[in-house]
Every structure is written in structure tokens, then in C-alpha cells.
Amino acid sequence: MMEEVRKRLKEAKKVVVLTGAGISQESGIPTFRGRDGLWKNYKPEELATPEAFRRNPQLVWEWYNWRREIIRKAEPNPAHLALVELEKRYPFFYLITQNVDGLHQRAGNKNVLELHGNIWRNFCFECGKEYRGEITPQVPRCECGGYIRPGVVWFGEPLPADVLRKAWEVSAQAEVFLVIGTSGVVQPAASLPLVAKEHGAWVVEINPQETALTPWVDASLRGTACQLLPEIVKGG
Ligand code: APR
């Protein structure tokens, strides 16, 4: 199967990738739904919704600070670096990510579409003004009096429309679509591989486990991102 993936990538001109928390797992960043996933120990509705923030901005801010600390110590891993190498080979390459850790950009990828925002960006919950101040332990306040929140998309919030439109567009043009490290249960991200498939792409999933997307993909490589991606990209 690895040979088939390499062959398809060699023949392709347009490659699109969708990543989830699994690609950052080997950098030491917890996933959401795995064995030791964040949603096993925390309730998303208490931390990752506008209502949760309204109810207790300090608690939510602290939880994101805790996640930022983990991410700050994390380094891009060989899977992230393999995608940097892959991008160089195609005039048409897009990396769509559900991750907010910024590791794809730190690794060196250029065409990154962040569907769920970025944990390093912050803005005022009331007036929307970007916040460039210090990330303090105490939730900061905006001049308007509003609380500062992390620039990530919470459950129940719309995704950035321009990013989603672009992600939809490029998925429909992909010849090969790689789905890496996502459980495929959160919409609309999880629809992108199907959009690609509907438009004729060959879709391959890279994941140690079966996912909601497994029945739909053309190929599934069972293994971790760090085990498989350098192998796939090796050999030019
Ligand atoms: N390599 C590849 N895949 C891995 C690895 C690894 N080393 N470790 C775990 N995985 C896989 C798991 O098998 C699982 O299928 O990564 C996937 C992680 O799934 P989730 O934890 O659900 O993360 P994700 O799919 O990115 O979640 C989507 O849900 O909570 C929201 O906004 C959040 O962006 C997130 C979205």
C-alpha cells in the first residue's frame, strides 16, 4: 500500500492534506478523543464554548494557558517536517489543519489553512479587537472592558468563512488527498475528504486507528504520522 501511495503522489500535480491532533501527538501535545485525550479529562462544554467563557473567563483562559505551555515546549516532529518536504514538490499544495498549535508553520509549511484558528492569537470577546499584549496568568481585559479570549474556534461557533471556502475549493481540486491524525468526527472539517473524493481525488488516511472516515477513503495506512510520513515522502 505504501508503494501505491508513493506512486500516486509521484503522478499527482495537486496535493491537499488535512491534519488533526494526531500529527502533533508525537510532539507531546495531547489529542482530544484518544485514550489520554483532553476530552477524556475535561468537558468541552465547560472549556471550549462561548457560554463557558461567558460563565468563567478566568477558568477558560487558564486552561488555554496550560495548553499554550505544553505547545511552547513542543517541537515540530518528523511528520510535520515530511509535510514541509512534500509541499516543495507541488505547485499546487495546501495543508488544511484543524490544529491550533501552529506547528505546521513553525516546521516551515507555507500554504496552511487553519480551520479552527490559532492558540497564539487572542482577541476581545466583546469588540473583537486583536490583543497583542502579554499572555498573563490573569485573563486580560480590552480597553472596551471586554475579556480577552484565545483566537480558536469553539464548539457552536462558525469557522472563519474565507478559510473554509478556500479549504472547500482546494479539496475539490485535489488529485491526492491525505488525511492525517484526525478522528473525522468534527464538521465541517470531516467533510473535506469527501468533497475531494466526490471530485475524483484518491484519498488516503494515515492513522493508527480506524476512524469515521475509514469506510470512505481509498486507502488506510495503519501507523503513526512519524512512522509513516517520512516513509511516504522518502525517495523524492
Ligand atoms: N499519528 C497519527 N494519528 C494519531 C496519532 C499519531 N501519533 N496519535 C493519535 N492519532 C489519531 C487518533 O487515532 C485519532 O483518530 O489522531 C486522531 C485524533 O483525533 P481527535 O483527538 O478527535 O482530534 P481531531 O480529529 O483533530 O479533533 C478535531 O475536535 O475538539 C475538536 O477543535 C478540536 O480540532 C479539534 C477537532
Task: Identify the residue whose C-alpha is closest to ligand 1 atom 15.
Answer: 183
Q: Please tell me the pTM assigned to this model.
A: 0.98
* 31-73+119-152 is classed CATH 3.40.50.920: no
Nearest ligand 1 atom to alpha carbon 20: 26
| Domain topology for 1-29+76-116+159-236 | Rossmann fold (3.40.50)
Between 225-233 and 78-88, two packed helices, what is the crossing angle to 10 degrees? 30
Whether the predicted pLDDT of 236 surpasses 90: no
Catalytically active residues, by annotation: 116
Cβ pair 148, 122 in contact under 8 A: yes
What CA–CA distance (Å, rounded) separates 64 from 79? 25
pLDDT band, residue 36 (cuts 50/70/90): confident
Round to whole Å and give the CA distance between 200 and 80: 26
Per-domain residue ranges for the chain? 1-29+76-116+159-236, 31-73+119-152
Mean pLDDT, the chain, whole residue set: 97
Q: Pinpoint the alpha helices (H) of 116-190.
A: 161-173
Residues with CB under 6 A from ligand 1: 20-22, 25-26, 31-34, 37, 98, 116, 181-183, 186, 207-209, 211, 224-225
Ligand 1 closest atom vs CA 79: 1
Angle between the 225-233 and 2-11 helix axes, to the nearest 10 degrees?
Answer: 50
Point out the ligand 1 atom lying closest to the alpha carbon of residue 19. 26
pLDDT tens figures, 201-226: 999 999 999 999 999 999 999 999 99
Q: How far apart are CA 25 and CA 171, in angstroms?
A: 24
How many angstroms is it from 211 CA to the middle of ligand 1?
A: 10
Task: Describe the chain by its helix, strand, coil percentages, rounded to 5.
Answer: 40, 20, 40
Q: What percent of the chain has pLDDT over 70?
A: 100
Residue 35 — pLDDT band, cuts 50, 70, 90?
A: confident
Check pLDDT > 80 for residue 17.
Answer: yes
CB atoms within 10 A of CB 127: 11
Question: 20 CA to middle of ligand 1, Å?
Answer: 5
- The pLDDT tens digits of the residues spanning 88-135 come to 999 999 999 999 999 999 999 999 999 999 999 999 999 999 999 999
Q: Whose CA is nearest to atom 28 of ligand 1?
A: 186
